[in-house]
Structure 1
């Protein structure tokens, strides 16, 4: 761990063997997981992919960007996927090695910039809602914490990386949580906990191994990861706040459009709206 400590901030190391294990195909078939492409990604460019919603464990993003279970390389030939995760995830022995082999990288700024600088044809998936959005993981919740998340837009402008919206339909159905609506005592405690410790503490439950009532195994519910059309970004090493706001607004617009065009295909009512706060 000491010798290899900087690897998660230097692109990790993709292992085609590890990412293609039969284990991951069984994992994907459990839900099942599915990857849907709506547009091509040109290997001549780099991409920052915004993954929504966070859910409890971001299963959809993991399945598509950390494994080949949903056929990422077949859908996007010439594109190398990376999944951003908290730097603390690489502090646990053995677990960090498995994450590195999957191609997961640290959420540190220099880690993301390292990948964007080293070559073209990279797609970096970032679960933009973060820990706070994990607390909104309820089956019929379509709230996204995105209005104040603009760092990814600045990085995209600085490095000329195209932005791609991605929505994981069914992600919020994998677990149930105790009632923690905003304003409740539980939610206030969870928000305070996150502020001090850097990660949220959702009180969630799923199914057991031999029964469906309660447990920590996620429910068997289809998760369909729909990758939207890329938003072209012209490189600007010193973007103004106005330029960042304009691109952020366009990204939100494209994300809502992606949601609206696909929601009824994956069990979401026609009258459901994506709420960005």
Structure 2
């Protein structure tokens, strides 16, 4: 058996370029393989969470009781799960968990629903580009579970959604996200997901959009975000624009020191905007209705080839002009989607406008 600490040190040396290897094995049970990111920040939370668990274990007073021994054994067994790579391959997705009745209760609490303007082909692969991020992306539970019948009636095709790296190193949160079919949002993982033919949901605005969240304000960060367009062109995968009306109204936020919050998010790859919901339960979202509206898929347009082939066929590296064209079409489609449904589902007046940054 390989020593966990030795494996951890070897991984760190490899990310720093101190050890070279033609390939890295993730074990025989992985659904697919992808190269780990070469950026140290991408591995920071993995090392930090593992060492924090070890430190906590060492600080707990030792006793001779069988209960303490059992507790320590279970504790160390759970710590070992932080050394696997399921957050990059999606091997722990659990369809039964995604269809539990509890998700229907959640949808009733926030009065959630998913609306599609055109039927989605269950045999086609899509990239669901979603806005806004909100404080905690509560709207994501409407589409990655069957609480609103999205998985059983609207789009039953297997999907692996992208989530922030740090979330996969928080106890219990990690397990829930893995069972719901979420994977790390790194570039290598995103490419591997689409190459294997999975559909995926991406929150394009990311941490910046999360920090800029304000009640009653409709703002999306999309102008500098073009990576999802490159993925769509590379794998001939149509983009489905989606807007979650009501997501920004679930929390009250602190409107000051946005610049400092953005700096912290860039430095730590972690956004923690001050917010509160109910007075006594601040993290519990307010019961504002949330409606995810999905527009018509945008097929990539490439010179001399057709887009949208089933199964993630490779279209090669896109040109700058192709990326700009698809990105402009997406921004236009997203804006039109908001304008069409802002009164019916967003509770906004006819004069409301979508801020595009």
Per the TM superposition, whether the score is higher than 0.5 is yes
* Residue 228 in structure 1 maps to residue 228 in structure 2: no
Instruction: Report the Cα distance in structure 1 between the residues aligned to 2:147 and 2:113, rounded to whole angstroms.
Output: 9
SS at 1:9's partner residue? helix
Q: Displacement of 1:139 after TM fit? A: 1.8
Match of 1:159 among 214, 235, 241: 235
Equivalent in the alignment of 2:282 = 215
Instruction: Report the Cα distance in structure 1 between the residues aligned to 2:284 and 2:319, rounded to whole angstroms.
Output: 45
Provide the alpha-carbon RMSD of the alignment. 1.8
Q: How does 1:98-117 map to 2 (within 5 A)?
A: 98-117=176-195
Name which structure has the greater RCO, CA cutoff 8 Å, separation 6+.
Answer: 1
Q: How does 1:61-76 map to 2 (within 5 A)?
A: 61-65=140-144, 67-76=145-154
Is the CA contact 1:132–1:145 (under 8 Å) kept in the aligned structure 2? yes
Equivalent in the alignment of 1:138 = 214
Equivalent in the alignment of 2:7 = none
SS at 2:159's partner residue? strand
* Residue 95 in structure 1 maps to residue 166 in structure 2: no
Match of 2:269 among 198, 208, 231: 198
Structure 2 regions of 5+ residues with no counterpart? 1-79, 301-306, 308-313
Structure 1 regions of 5+ residues with no counterpart? 181-185
**TM-score after normalising by structure 2:** 0.70
Deviations 1:7-60 (A, max 9, x none): 221134332221111222211111111111111222332111111001100111
Q: Displacement of 1:236 after TM fit? A: 3.1
Q: Displacement of 1:77 after TM fit? A: 4.2
Equivalent in the alignment of 1:273 = 353
The 1:55–1:257 alpha-carbon spacing in structure 2 relative to 1, beyond 3 Å, is same
Paired residues in the alignment total 265
Is the CA contact 2:142–2:150 (under 8 Å) kept in the aligned structure 1? no
Is the CA contact 1:41–1:79 (under 8 Å) kept in the aligned structure 2? no
4+ residue segments displaced more than 6 Å: none
**TM-score after normalising by structure 1:** 0.90
SS at 1:265's partner residue? coil
